[in-house]
Amino acid sequence: MKQVNHYLHKKVLVLGLAKSGVAAASLLHKLGAFVTVNDYKPLSENMEAQGLLEQGITVICGGHPIELLDEGFELIVKNPGIPYHNPMIEGAAAKGIPVITEVELAYQISEAPFVAITGTNGKTTTTTLVFEMLKEGGKLPLIAGNIGTVAASVAQEATEENTIVIELSSFQLMGIEAFNPRIAIVTNLYDAHLDYHGTRTEYVQAKANITRNQTENEFFIVNADQEQTLAIAENSNAQTIPFSTKRVLENGAYIREGWIYFNAEQVIATKDIMLPGAHNLENILSAIAAAKLSGVENEAIFKVLNSFSGVKHRLQFVCEHKERRFYNDSKATNILATQNAIAAFNEPVILLAGGLDRGNEFDELIPFLKNVKSVITFGQTAEKIERVAEKAGIKTIKRVDNVEKAVPEAYQLSEPGDVILLSPACASWDQYKTFEVRGDIFIQAVHMLK
């Protein structure tokens, strides 16, 4: 960990806890800051806050009193989930108090360079692939961010010999100042999190922050099949490394005659890739580009792609039971992710979908429902998804209370050779704390069938 004196005796407010807030508060305390933690959950129910109190950190729980901002704080480190229209954040802006997220702290103390991945879909798969390729190639990677341990914790242990591979959300990227990865990736950009950002423009600008501080010494890996990602690259000072699933490129990563190439070098045949789904080729191409730029040999890349079958909750194969195959795609929290999941199969599909209602409709699913024989809905969006299924001509549509009840219902409707797919097209927060919880309940329910 770098020796940083910037925070010595500085008054810092950590707003919101969870894992990132706890890590930020502990790190700032270690760096000599005068830390105050403010979390909405009452102290009696807040184990994280109690632990920080035992470290000697000031803790204020049970609400977000706006008068806290009058105590002379020089910096706020906010939980990424707290929106910028929150009264505390708006009040800080009015007072000129800088607001950052925990990933910025991690960058400031890290001795290791970063490979940072963002995008609407494919972040987790791409991050995992990059990590596994670097690991197989002997590059001593560490994984951090939304997919692993909190970055501020990982950065404290990292050395110059390591590389931190980190998945970053738009929420996190809105709170950076100096963060500058050696390699940055934008997998793709579609409408998402507009309830948080308000507009697509703000969402895209947040994603673009991943390359904001890069120089000509760094690399920006970008989807060449999207005009908006290319526009971000045009404003980047980094070396642009494109990837494309649709056309052969002069440089970067692309597919030609059944082979993946990087800078005209043949890397792996697509038939040797284990990961299912055409949409995953975007993730694979960007991961190969990052690995090659990091000095990983083709043999290591081949070994990973020839055995890697996916990450948990992202088109995860759960099991086969009585000739039915079950897949957990709980991380599909938007329509595009569900489109990609359905398109990955040629077999008849029984689709389990529904969740938090963000105000959107689901008609974009209709062209992808041709091989869906039944739909089982749950959650706030059940009625909307049922309307779409009816428009698509699906005869069997059932509504259940939750994912746990959806599994046996799907099994009763299924026949040998069918795929039973949880791909909700919605966030989980109407019924479940996280998409991971939703996916784990699906897996448990599948195993109960046995």
Element (H, E) at 446: helix 435-448
- Helices then strands, counting H and E runs in the chain, come out as 16, 20
CB neighbour class for 416 (10 Å; exposed up to 12, middle 13-18, buried from 19) = exposed
The answer to whether residues 175 and 108 touch, using CB atoms and an 8 Å cutoff, is no
Tokens standing for 395? 């005869």
User: Of 128, 144, 114, 115, nearest to 280 (Cα)?
Assistant: 128
CB neighbour class for 172 (10 Å; exposed up to 12, middle 13-18, buried from 19) = buried
Q: How far apart are CA 33 and CA 27, in angstroms?
A: 9
User: Of 168, 248, 262, 261, nearest to 207 (Cα)?
Assistant: 168
| 128 is known to lie in a ligand binding site | no
Say which residues have a Cβ less than 8 Å from residue 85's Cβ, sequence separation at least 6. Answer: 198
CB atoms within 10 A of CB 195: 12
| 125 is known to lie in a ligand binding site | yes
| 120 is known to lie in a ligand binding site | yes
Q: Nearest 5°: phi and psi at 410?
A: -65, -40
Sign of CA dihedral 52, 56, 62, 65: negative
| 123 is known to lie in a ligand binding site | yes
Q: How far apart are CA 95 and CA 374, in angstroms?
A: 55
| Sequence-separated contacts (24+) of 248-251 with Cβ below 8 Å | 249/224
| 122 is known to lie in a ligand binding site | yes
Q: Which residue ranges are tagged as binding site for ATP?
A: 119-125
Q: Which residue ranges are tagged as binding site?
A: 119-125
